[in-house]
Structure 1
Amino acid sequence: MAILCAGEILFDFISKSLNKGLGESELFEKRPGGSPFNVAVGVAKLGADVSFLTKISQDEFGKFLFDYLKQNGVNTDCAFTVEGLKTSLAFAAVDAQGKAEYEFYRDNAADTKLELKDIENLDYEKFNVFHFGSIALIDEPTSSTLTRLFDNFVSGDLVTSFDPNIRLSLIKNRENYNSLVKSIIKKVDILKMSDDDLYYLTEKKNVEEAIMTLSVKEGAILFVTLGSQGSLVYKDGIIERVPGYKVKVVETVGCGDSFMAGILYKLKDFSKDELSNITVEELAEYADFANKCAAIVATKQGAANAMPSLSEVSQFEFLKSRFYI
């Protein structure tokens, strides 16, 4: 069975001007990106069957991204190409205080125009897991289309996965956005959040306290990424921390998406009933695998470009003392 990922597809322009912020940066490096896109590429590079659902512009950026999906083993049957629209662009830099800055250019972008008619003929039986989230939930009609698709997977008793990957600078109405995200969290089977996302949604500054105020359904699985501290697993009132790995960090763009890809790879063959019975100890093993995926990405440049293969992850323990640290 396959995984279906859905959401934005774009180009990241990453500042190469150290600690100058967006305004003063002079040099940017262009890389394929977008959280669900990165996850799809990451899952494919680990060896799983994955499709990506989106709309892709037929401008030169979009043509490259469509080919990039195919070249990296992602099924493009659900990736609709369209004329007359643009490709989303995102600029990222780190300022003098070490704070990440983002600017997004998504006016008339193809990935914001996914419509209900685009999913009318989707064959749900082909997929065992549906994963979505991130900035695709901000713009219409894509937001409503993905929400409807999510509800269809839920009603079909199929496994769902969600990573809000919140970008505050893009949110136009925080009350409506927060309500949408929280409504999804109440129904989803696999939830992945960064600690910053968790703090934002719960307005708490302690991870354990924040988790306990989050409304997840019984049997749902929550993974919280903690940067260099690793990750955390929560299920049915039980919390377990999973240590991270010390590596020589080049940059952290895409680490969370690689973690998500590792989790989906490990859980792709589980039914909803099997997921509800899985233990926190087993989930911690999968989180450790995902931590390795994220650690490898941190040693490279580029989000989708940096996603590791299964052999890289398998050799990580052996190689990390020689190459990664």
Structure 2
Amino acid sequence: MCLSTLNPHPHSSPAVRKTSSTSRPGRLRARLWKDRYLLLLGLPGIAYFLIYRYVPMAGLYMAFIDYSPFQGIAGSEWVGWKHFARIFEDPEIVQVLWNTLSISFLQIVFAFPIPIVLALMLNELRNQIYKRIVQSVIYLPHFLSWVVVIGICTIFLKGNGVVNDLLKQGFGLAQPVPFLTDPSYFKPIVILQVIWKEAGWGTILFLAALAGVNPQLYEAATMDGAGRFRQMWHITLPAIRNTIVILLILRLGHVMDAGYEQIFLMLNPFNMEIGNILDTYVFFKGIGQSDYSFATAVGLFKGAVGLVLVLSANYIAKKLGDDGVF
């Protein structure tokens, strides 16, 4: 009698098992219903990535066939790695790869640290009104298209432009400086354009990271006799180190993208040799000549290189003690 009282049903009935098995889906439905507004808010972003990022991946199949618009994807001949081999058989590709990598690494070396420096400088300002005005002024160029930026640059740097007029009046130069046609000026101008357009926008990310620094750390450092520079070196920079590492890793993933719109608008017959990058090379060789399979193969090659760089940089960052991207 005691045994039956303690355990009247030694084996769970089917109804009990059914209730326990359906409890988890029930909790999931309740959680989804509770967060329904957040999920609806995220639907546009999810739809964007599905439509413009994941669905087009089906087109990567074109890299392995001799695609013909008349035969379609199903009727085109399978050629395997033929188009990938063509990437390295073209004698022009060596110069194109060098141009792409050199411009990308120059942007990392010179353009990437500028937002960090600006964020540190703005963080030291105590006048909040002046700080907001400066911040607004420096990130406004981000909202200009590259067509407008290149147009402004052309007006300033052409033979009878503002810069040459100032050089002529101030230094007495007899001949205008060929900023737009001399290949030696191409890369410095490209880097300066990137800095002017994007440095202020990148500063917002580092200022957001700096907003989370505990003010008591600065107060304690002041009491210990640390000046502004030492506070910046020992408190501010370590506080944004993880943000710097993550953004650098993400930037390395785009090392094969030197900026198609900007470079394409800056190209002319005089600087084509030093300014032609992978994106413009694909446009001229692939899209311009209707060689869609080759253009797809180059795009897939760029993506693979970017993936390897991101994984490698993330692995190194974790080995050095940082969080990394994932």
Structure 1 length normalisation: TM-score? 0.20
Higher strand proportion: 1
Higher RCO by CA contacts (8 Å cutoff, separation 6 or greater): 2
Largest Rg, 1 or 2: 2
**What is the TM-score of this pair, normalised by structure 2?**
0.20
Q: Which is richer in helix?
A: 2
